[in-house]
Structure 1
Amino acid sequence: MKKVVLLGDSIRQIGYGTKVPSLLGPGYTVWQPEDNCRFVSYLLRGIFDWSGELEGADIIHWNSGEWDICNLFGDGPFTAENEYVSQCLRVANLLLARAKKVIFATTTPVRQGHPHNDNRLIERYNALIVPQLVSKGVLINDLFAVVKEDIDGNIRADDQIHLTEKGIVLCAEATVRAIHRAGQDL
């Protein structure tokens, strides 16, 4: 039995994380916090609180970014680029020390006109962190690319950021494929 841990913001919490456990099939157990992991720094702090649940994990899948790139006040993202990269690398190091395989899911796009999140900035933050995580041996689940294929069909119109049912299914299926690939040689 392979132990999988899912960490991430509401894209996981009310999105793909609701479907992954049932889609993984036999041979996998899944733990994920009920909490929204919010910013990467919040997730980093959570690793301490969830240490018991992370123990013995074979695969840890995580996403962070929507809260980090959010520009609520018009003066830039909540988390500066260098801090985002630094904190993601700290998370990666801690997760790599606790699991046989670690997967990072890229930050998903938002609908055009979202008042606080911008796809160009999401792409920039993804581009900054992905190569550095890959160099550490972290696997990548490119949920940005999955959702970008049909943003209007995959992202809800009411809040312009969370996944529709279609988007949830597509991201859950992509996450399951990433977990299965990671688990092949375990």
Structure 2
Amino acid sequence: MKKVLLLGDSIRMGYDDYVKELLDGKCEVIYDPDDNGRFAAYTLWQANQMFKKHGKFDVVHWNNGYWDMNVEPPMAEAMHPVDEYVHFLKRILGECRRNGAKVIFATTTPILSPGAAADNTGTEADSIHYNDAWVQQYNAAAKALMAEENVTVNDLYALCKEDANYYKCADMLHLTEEGYRKCAAQAAKYILEALGEA
């Protein structure tokens, strides 16, 4: 059976189980249910661990963004300014391709208004700051890279914008169950297309 790897932050952790359900019997969907991919440098390390443990994948579906653009006091700038973000996206993409996988990159979901929230996946981060202007800037940089590299983009930003509240839950960063299910359905569609089974 073909193998699919899901990489990414807490948004991925919100939709990964639903993707697995949707693709049950069609491919093996693998992810770490307990480890948030956080910022892109961490995801690079995490991807390498998954490749060591599980071998070759047919498809990698992946997102990064919120942690990279986070300006967490007392730091004065983002964890990964845009140029560093793009650098690590290139590194992750290169490792996925060395593994032999087709890659799908998912954009960061939109923000209604600037604010901050605790991470909800056990990392003990208590100040993920968010701002839609940052999201748009980082998404634009990521999409430009993926266009250059001929990588499929799953535009979760556009998907969530279809809802008046962007499918946001009470903390205004993470998504409602409906939002995660919508993201999962779109991810599953792109994955099946990449596997040639759509």
Normalising by structure 2, we get a TM-score of 0.86
> Percent identity among equivalent residues?
36
Residue 44 of structure 2: aligned partner: 44
Residue 166 of structure 1: aligned partner: 178
Q: 1:137 to 1:53 in 2, by over 3 A?
A: farther
Counterparts in 2 of 1:28-177, with a 5 A limit?
28-34=27-33, 35-73=35-73, 75-115=76-116, 116-150=129-163, 152=165, 154-157=167-170, 159-177=171-189
In 2: Cα distance, 1:76 partner to 1:133 partner: 25
In 2: Cα distance, 1:10 partner to 1:173 partner: 17
Contact 1:60 1:99 in 2 (8 A): no
SS in 2 for 1:19: helix
In 1: Cα distance, 2:56 partner to 2:5 partner: 10
Give the deviation of 1:109 after TM superposition. Answer: 1.4
Q: 1:92 to 1:77 in 2, by over 3 A?
A: same
Give the deviation of 1:121 after TM superposition. Answer: 0.9
> Which is worse superposed, 32-41 or 132-141?
132-141
Give the deviation of 1:151 after TM superposition. Answer: 5.3
In 2: Cα distance, 1:146 partner to 1:62 partner: 16
In 2: Cα distance, 1:19 partner to 1:33 partner: 14
Residue 125 of structure 2: aligned partner: none
In 1: Cα distance, 2:54 partner to 2:143 partner: 23
In 2: Cα distance, 1:179 partner to 1:150 partner: 23
Contact 2:48 2:95 in 1 (8 A): no
RMSD, aligned CA = 1.8
Contact 1:66 1:117 in 2 (8 A): yes
Gaps of 5+ in 2: 117-128
Gaps of 5+ in 1: none
- Structure 1 residue ranges, 4+ long, deviating more than 4 angstroms after superposition: none
> Which is worse superposed, 60-69 or 45-54?
45-54
Q: Which amino acid aligns with 1:67?
A: W
